[in-house]
A and B are shown apart, each in its own frame.
Chain A
Amino acid sequence: MSENLEAFRSEIRAWLEANCPAEMREPMKSEDDTYWGGRKAVFKSEAQKAWFEACRDKGYTVPDWPKAYGGAGLSAAETKVLREEMARINARSPLSSFGIWMLGPALLQFGTEDQKVHYLNQIARGEIRWCQGYSEPGSGSDLVSLQTFGEDKGDHWVVNGQKIWTSYADKADWIFCLVRTDKTNKYQGITFMLFDMESPGVSTKPILLISGNSPFCETFFDNVKVPKDQFVGTVNRGWDVAKYLLGHEREMISAGGAGADMVSAGALYAKSLGKNANGELDDPILRAKMAEFDVDVFAFRAMGERFMDMWKTGRAHPASSNMMKYSGTELNKRRYELVMSGSGSEGLEWESDESRNGASARTWLRTKANSIEGGTSEVMLNVISKRILELPGG
């Protein structure tokens, strides 16, 4: 087994050497260096196109999905080797996609065979860009209070309502969307629907954020016709799908806390802060804060490893992803407060080339949403106290 894995590793190394262009091993310069695929996709460079197509053809955009659904059919151990080898050369992700991160896992779990073959292949090949229609104005973390209504018209629904915080809705081709189909049952009256954003009656409006960017949109549905077969799971039981998907989303958001790099906060700022005669950072209070943060980062990384080990083998408490989400996002907010302190006045730059168009400041501002999106920290704490600690009260 391990010998086969080593052979696989050599094979991957050779393949990466031949197929991953040098430009795709450089850190991204701005947010739009990410390739999102979709009908309206444009490649930023020849290298980006070549890298994406090479991965797509091997099934490496979703290496652990079955081949029939566009993946490479790799085992968990092989997938790990692939990711390690890609990380070793700092290869960029060939495709960013809510289809891969969120909808795909839900379809693998709840989709019909036809849906899997059709939608998963599209996702794996980056042909359709998806967005997520969960939040609504006034519902926020109380997701289940959503009002968007799908009226049953026999062979189709007519959907009316408004979504908010729909990431990249203005750039998406299709939406996976929670729609109320039974007003008499709060939890068992929601259907998980899929439909084309070009359907008549769909419109979007970007929301400018404090970070100066607008990845989020308001999305409006005005008598949108959705065919009756475009739902996942069971009609009125969409909450089951939504919860499953949220688990994945929280996993993804919480991973941000541990950070992709192994560089400690203090080591990162050793140069800009300068060191005293003892080789310590020049600002003792900031040094202490960074050391405390590093303890928490290394500790959280161990937690991430344990969480994944337990999650994959069914040992984790079903609500433990709420704990990961809570701790990871609070940690990531702390990280960017330190980034701003460590970079001093240079971190304030908003529009210069050297600052990569104010990447630090914009990311710092963006992280403030980490403990709001996907359920607030307060909601996570409610879930932990009720479901894990089993504390009393409604």
Chain B
Amino acid sequence: MEKYKVVVIGGGPAGLAAALESFKILDDKKVLIIERDKFLGGILNQCIHPGFGLHYFKEELTGPEYAHRFVEQVVENRIEYLTETHVIDITPEKEIVAVNKKGLKRIKADAIVLAMGCRERTRGAIITPGTRPAGIFTAGQAQRLINIEGYRIGKKAVIVGSGDIGLIMARRLTLEGIEVKAVVEIMPYSTGLRRNIVQCLDDFGIPLLLSHKVVKIHGKYRVEGVTIAKVDSQLQEIPATERFIECDTVLFSVGLIPENELSKKAGIVLDIKTGGPVVDNTFSTSQKGIFACGNVLHVHDLVDNVTLEAQIAGRYAAIYSQHPELFENNIHVNIVAKEGIRYVVPQKLNKNFVQPFVLRFRVDNFYKDAIVTVSNAGKVLVEYKKSILTPGEMESIEISQKILSQLDFSNDIVVSLQNI
């Protein structure tokens, strides 16, 4: 059986950054990346639009360009990687079973970094009634078909959901000569970034129908149209508001779910809110020596944050592979999301590694003028005021050494939000 210090599962932005960071630290450099697609770079390869790297590189890159900067370093450093290779099993003992054209492969790792990314929710996830003709895609699937394979997927489209991928695809379809009739969003607000609403919809005069849902898909062989309706504050269809829109293509952009089939096999504890593993500030999961980062951990809106997080996971994975004894007696303080906060990552602070870290979180609704506080044992450790908080934008707070020095380790760390 082949042996590696650190094996990274997934060759997207999270996996690449984690592998590079592990590689920097390790003396014997035994790092391996396993990717199921033909190329490294992950979904960034199909994200040909600009807007990546504004925070990390301080310049505006496209997805493939952002990926290239990391792939180049992987190649230059001769970090080992396998493409077109599927990992089908991982065990708590950190044995990996993978399969590719050459057959089955068993690999033993001292530490594993999970970086498998996420999946799109589909029509089934939101239970849209109607027939099942050709012409129904998830937004990301359409993105791959258009940007990499070069297919023309239809002539007139309706997009369901106004997440960033849906908005970006509205622009992409328009540039490809496909008429986008509407973006239909069930919530009273878009979950996409403001810049995408402006540059992808407003620029082309594409209507964004808030508080609307698709109540039926029509068509026998190919989509012939959709029926939409207004919804009330309980998201229930309002009678007599139905309207038919003729189209031959429907794209679903209705959210992403971390892809944790492998994590489950390894017996890793998952967080119901994020859909990803519960981790501490070393990005260690509940299984010692198995770390997680990127969209497999929680769905990010900016790849820049994925990179930063993955570097930390990669660093601690390398430390674990050399000194597992440091993680032997892990004692954790829970970090808990309360009023107004949907989730926090990491969910725990490891007492063996009380080092500054960034707490990332999402709020559960739209808030204007609110204060976010981090408290412990009834004492406010840090607070900050924000004029706008939206569920679509990930927030972060830096937990500094000064804050850590005031901690009472027998009590939870609580993150909450108050309106002013």
Q: Do A and B bind each other?
A: no
